[in-house]
Amino acid sequence: MSLLFKQMTIVGVGLIGGSLGMVCKQQGLVGTVVGAGRRVENLKKAVELKAIDRYSTDLAEAASGSDLLVLATPVDTFESALKACAPKLAPNAVVTDVGSVKGPLVSRMEALVPAGVRVVGAHPIAGREKTGVDAASLELFRSALCILTPTANTDPDALTKVRRLWGFTGARVCDMDPLLHDRVLGAVSHLPHLAAFALVNAVASIQETQTPGLDLQIYSGGGYKDTTRIAASSPEMWRDICLWNRDNLVSQLELYEARLARLKALIKAGDGEGLAREFAQAKQARERIT
């Protein structure tokens, strides 16, 4: 297989960045994989796991001469990372990311790169509640959806190369407008995370006020554990996602609150038929998910 890129720099060698590095090294998609980050022990572990070939804690040094830069840190760090890395990249390099927010972020990335450097937004929907390179896997992206978010400024050749890169990971690749991406993912990813965070904190409040001294979570079964699994995700990452996608999330939270209020009203009124209708509607919708 011919190389897609000579040298790839991954800023943030965690679950997603580490898994991508593993696949690229195993399949020979890039010549050299360079990791960049703050924690030396994590970067050393990434070398041991064959996620990267070498590393640097200096972003500019790590990016020097690379023709592919992958931003895999919390989205609020992209601007500072790009400012450090972009001037050191090879001519005509490609900059991409794995962030869960795209709309204004892709535009900002395009504005920050030097002339000739090409930006392609990407979002592999393959996250887990476990973070860090220890959780990385060659199989993480297999059959997962990866959304590319080209704009009017996106270079076609760069888009093709990034599409091929993700295709080789086993992901199902599609294109979507960046603003639509944030509306869609707000509903099916960001809102569920907020619901999980709120539910865990609500149970803590119930424990404090209604069952003091009793640890409610030790009595939880599959329902609570399945519903709240994603509440164990990175607080820093989800803080940034929520703030970057705040307009969509505020309107979607209002719709969610209205649904909760309807359930509360039906329970308060003792309306069993109304509750059954709500539950049946949700059951039918959920069963369509494959």
In three-state secondary structure terms, 165 is helix
**pLDDT score recorded for residue 140:** 96
**pLDDT score recorded for residue 120:** 98
Whether residue 9 is predicted with pLDDT greater than 80 in this model: the reply is yes
* pLDDT tens, position by position, 273-282: 999 999 999 9
Q: How many CB atoms lie within 10 A of CB 153?
A: 11
Q: For residues 45 and 98, give the distance between their C-alpha atoms in angstroms, rounded to a whole number.
A: 21
**pLDDT score recorded for residue 116:** 96
Average the pLDDT over each of 31-35, 128-132, 144-148, 194-198 and give the range with the smallest value. 128-132
**pLDDT score recorded for residue 1:** 63
**pLDDT score recorded for residue 48:** 96
100-107 mean pLDDT: 94
**pLDDT score recorded for residue 128:** 75
Q: For residues 192 and 202, give the distance between their C-alpha atoms in angstroms, rounded to a whole number.
A: 15
Average the pLDDT over each of 2-11, 84-93, 129-138, 248-257 and give the range with the smallest value. 129-138
**pLDDT score recorded for residue 132:** 87
Burial 119-133 (b: 16+ CB within 10 A, else e): bbbbbbbbbeeebeb
Residue given tokens 């803590």 in the structure block: 204
The rounded percent of the chain whose pLDDT value lies above 90 is: 96
Please give the C-alpha separations between residue 275 and each of 252, 259, 263, 279, in angstroms, as whole numbers.
22, 12, 7, 6
How many CA atoms does the CB half-sphere of 23 hold within 13 Å?
22
Whether residue 164 is predicted with pLDDT greater than 90 in this model: the reply is yes
Alpha helices in 1-151 (DSSP H): 15-27, 40-48, 59-63, 78-85, 103-112
Average per-residue pLDDT for the chain = 96
**pLDDT score recorded for residue 97:** 98
